[in-house]
Amino acid sequence: MRSRPSGSSVTARSDARARARVVPIILRLLPSLTLLAMLGPVAAGLAGAVLPAFGHLPAAGFDGPSLVAWERLFGWAGIGEATRLSLTTGFLATLGSLAIVTLITAGWWNTRVFGWLERALSPLLSVPHAAAAFGIAFLIAPSGWIMRLVSPELTGLSRPPDILVVGDPWGLSMTAGLIAKEVPFLLLMTLAALGQVRARAALELARSMGYGRVAAWLKAVFPQVYAQIRLPVYVVLAYSMSVVDVALILGPSTPATLSVQIVRWMSDPDLAMRLVASAGAILQLGLVVGALALWRLAEWLVGLWGTGWAGGGGRGRPLDASRPVALGLAGLSACATLAGLAALGIWSVAGLWRFPDALPDALSLRSWTRHAAGLGDAIGDTALVALSATAMALLLTIGCLEAEFRRGRTIGRFALWLLYLPLIVPQTAFLPGLQTFLLRLGADRGTLPVIAAHLVFVLPYVFLSLGDPWRAWDRRQAVAAAALGASPGRVLLAVRLPMLLRPLLVAGAIGIAVSVGQYLPTLLIGGGRVATLTTEAVALSSGGDRRAIGVFGLAQTLAALLPFTLAALLPALLWRNRRGLHG
């Protein structure tokens, strides 16, 4: 027998050797690669906006530094209005959706009604923002479906009234459209957070002390839930302040919102306007950062007041009067989206549809056949970009999670912030700079840059969706498989991935839905060469051809919805004889 050196050094060395085999080099590099794919474009885009904003864009013949861009930005007549709109729509949409989600959960969690809302959640989530916005426009416009349903019986009108509803100067219809889309998102995040919080016990305890349902929720459960959904709320705030496609469809046009104006400047044939757009991008970033700071301050103040309120012992039973209101608002936001989709669907097959008629005279597939060619091309581009970006996101995410698993360490709070960063930095703040950056590299056109830009937004959602089920997997399965002689790679491919098929497919469906819904990355990075269902649909918004919008809006929704349907059906089909994998 060999002489044995002291135990600890042997173990340390052998551990290192064993681990080197367990975590191959490519797997060690994947987390860094993922961060690069996700944050590289954001960093390059922000950096790419700074120089042009200060008058330096040699590619277009501008040598800075100068303040010309800022002078022109602040010289623009709409700057005050645009700034105000960004702030009001952002705060109103965030407050509105957070209030609806909080009150509906407080008033109705664990009831049959809440179960219905939960079932409507997946389809509502998968509806792209643009399609939802079009649908709402089709409902509330002066010649929209609602007015048609009540005319002429209730209104006495035989022609559409001359009022500005869609595109109102206060951005209210745009805010409503945002709320309808953000309520399902925040509700999903709240439900996920409830899995981490012992809500039922806290609620029962408070109710046994005589607290009303809503007060018990607000005082005992909400603080814990809010701590978990803080980052998603920041995403909603940043998004609502800087959204472009919803603003083009439902927002005011004279002046437009700041983000819409940035995109207009970017597409101006006069290259000098790119400098102004860059300055606008930095202003938009500043506005979002300022709003987030303000929101954080408000969180702190509400928290301070709330601890006193909760400790004050008031049973708050009158608050239960908010239950019907909450139900009405949540139902309204869900119905607005669903009825809007129905309106899109009817317009897509409408023959002649005169104003006060509730339904068209005749139905026909003419609009679909007329747009068949354009639709086919758009579906091709949409599928190519969505499938590539999602496949890359899934590979990177699985790699990161597997590296984390084999190293036995989970990612910390800081990494979670990094994951949310691309969702919080406004798209209009870094995509113009990214386009300028790619222009300098000569890679500003074509499908590959678009896929890379989509990956920035697809990756965080895929990671957030897959992370929890991946970590909840019973790791003893891996020990059992290894004890049977399975290498780590075989454990991953033959045991873990098949067992996690359902969450993998759901993560893929979410990735595809996110990619399908992207407007700005496709528009700005594709240089007009990549036409997806979303860019085509939004491009139709100014023309007002409702039949064409109906066709493209519905196709866009189906493209996002189909993967969710497959994700639900495939495991049931593949594992039909495997009871252990259901429920």
Quote the CA–CA distance of 401 and 394 in Å, as a whole number.
Answer: 10
Binding-residue total with other proteins (CB under 8 A): 40
Q: Measured from the CB of residue 17, what is the shortest distance to other proteins in angstroms?
A: 6
Q: Which is nearer to other proteins, 487 or 542 (CB)?
A: 487
Q: Which residues of 483-505 are buried (b: 16+ CB within 10 A; e: fewer)?
A: eeebebeebbeebbeebbebbbb
Position 284, amino acid = Q
Q: Measured from the CB of residue 482, what is the shortest distance to other proteins in angstroms?
A: 4
Q: Which residues of 423-456 are buried (b: 16+ CB within 10 A; e: fewer)?
A: bbbbbbbbbbbbbbbbbeeeebbeeebbbbbbbb
Interaction between residue 21 and other proteins (CB under 8 A) = yes
Interaction between residue 7 and other proteins (CB under 8 A) = yes
Q: Measured from the CB of residue 9, what is the shortest distance to other proteins in angstroms?
A: 9
Interaction between residue 8 and other proteins (CB under 8 A) = yes
Quote the CA–CA distance of 99 and 105 in Å, as a whole number.
Answer: 10
Interaction between residue 17 and other proteins (CB under 8 A) = yes
Q: What are phi and psi of 62, to 5 degrees?
A: -110, 125
E strand or H helix at 90, and its extent?
helix 79-108
Residue from the set 269, 442, 580, 583 that interacts with other proteins by CB under 8 A: 580
Residue 426: closest CA among 268, 256, 235, 260: 235
Interaction between residue 77 and other proteins (CB under 8 A) = no
Quote the CA–CA distance of 81 and 71 in Å, as a whole number.
Answer: 17
Residue from the set 56, 207, 317, 407 that interacts with other proteins by CB under 8 A: 407
Instruction: For residue 446, give every residue at least 6 positions away whose Cβ sits within 8 Å of its Cβ, in sequence order, or none.
Output: 526, 527, 529, 530
**Any bridge partners for residue 62, and if so which?**
57
Q: Measured from the CB of residue 129, what is the shortest distance to other proteins in angstroms?
A: 37
Interaction between residue 476 and other proteins (CB under 8 A) = yes
Q: What are phi and psi of 271, to 5 degrees?
A: -65, -20
Residue from the set 324, 380, 408, 528 that interacts with other proteins by CB under 8 A: 408
Q: Measured from the CB of residue 26, what is the shortest distance to other proteins in angstroms?
A: 17
Q: x/- string (CB under 8 A) for other proteins, residues 218-247?
A: ------------------------------
Stretch that binds other proteins, among 12-20, 211-219, 292-300, 334-342 (CB under 8 A): 12-20
Interaction between residue 3 and other proteins (CB under 8 A) = no
Quote the CA–CA distance of 20 and 395 in Å, as a whole number.
Answer: 21
Stretch that binds other proteins, among 83-91, 298-306, 509-517, 573-581 (CB under 8 A): 573-581
Instruction: For residue 471, give every residue at least 6 positions away whose Cβ sits within 8 Å of its Cβ, in sequence order, or none.
Output: 401, 410
Residue 293: closest CA among 35, 74, 464, 90: 90
Q: Measured from the CB of residue 3, what is the shortest distance to other proteins in angstroms?
A: 13
Q: Which is nearer to other proteins, 323 or 406 (CB)?
A: 406
Binding positions for other proteins, 440-459, rule CB under 8 A: none
Q: Which is nearer to other proteins, 200 or 582 (CB)?
A: 582
Q: Which is nearer to other proteins, 339 or 482 (CB)?
A: 482
CA dihedral angle for residue 226, residue 231, residue 237, residue 238, rounded to 10 degrees: 170
E strand or H helix at 553, and its extent?
helix 546-574
Quote the crossing angle between the two packed helices 112-126 and 322-348, to the nearest 10°: 40
Stretch that binds other proteins, among 101-109, 135-143, 228-236, 402-410 (CB under 8 A): 402-410
The 8-class DSSP code of residue 474 comes to -
Interaction between residue 18 and other proteins (CB under 8 A) = yes
Quote the CA–CA distance of 327 and 204 in Å, as a whole number.
Answer: 22
Q: Which residues of 234-244 are buried (b: 16+ CB within 10 A; e: fewer)?
A: bbbbbbbbbbb
Q: Measured from the CB of residue 537, what is the shortest distance to other proteins in angstroms?
A: 40
Q: Which is nearer to other proteins, 157 or 574 (CB)?
A: 574
Q: Which is nearer to other proteins, 112 or 579 (CB)?
A: 579
Q: What's the number of CA atoms in the CB half-sphere (13 Å) around residue 16?
A: 5
Please give the structure tokens belonging to residue 75. 């010289």
Q: Measured from the CB of residue 153, what is the shortest distance to other proteins in angstroms?
A: 59
For 37, 366, 498, 569, 577, the CA distances from 574, given in Å and listed in that order, are 33, 38, 10, 9, 8
Q: Measured from the CB of residue 50, what is the shortest distance to other proteins in angstroms?
A: 41
Interaction between residue 413 and other proteins (CB under 8 A) = no
Q: Which is nearer to other proteins, 162 or 474 (CB)?
A: 474
Please give the structure tokens belonging to residue 553. 């809006």
Binding positions for other proteins, 123-142, rule CB under 8 A: none
Q: Which is nearer to other proteins, 495 or 548 (CB)?
A: 495
Stretch that binds other proteins, among 7-15, 41-49, 515-523, 528-536 (CB under 8 A): 7-15
Q: Measured from the CB of residue 492, what is the shortest distance to other proteins in angstroms?
A: 12
Interaction between residue 575 and other proteins (CB under 8 A) = yes
Binding positions for other proteins, 477-516, rule CB under 8 A: 477-488, 494-495, 498-499, 501
Quote the CA–CA distance of 392 and 459 in Å, as a whole number.
Answer: 8
How many CB atoms within 10 Å of residue 2? Answer: 4
Interaction between residue 474 and other proteins (CB under 8 A) = yes
Stretch that binds other proteins, among 13-21, 66-74, 88-96, 314-322 (CB under 8 A): 13-21
Instruction: For residue 213, give every residue at least 6 positions away whose Cβ sits within 8 Å of its Cβ, in sequence order, or none.
Output: 106, 107, 207, 320, 323
Interaction between residue 579 and other proteins (CB under 8 A) = yes
Interaction between residue 542 and other proteins (CB under 8 A) = no
Q: Which is nearer to other proteins, 17 or 366 (CB)?
A: 17
Report how far Cα 307 is from the mean position of its chain's Cα atoms.
Answer: 32
**Which residues would be at the binding site for other proteins (CB under 8 A)?**
1, 4, 7-8, 10-11, 13-14, 17-18, 21-22, 407-409, 474, 476-488, 494-495, 498-499, 501, 575, 577-581
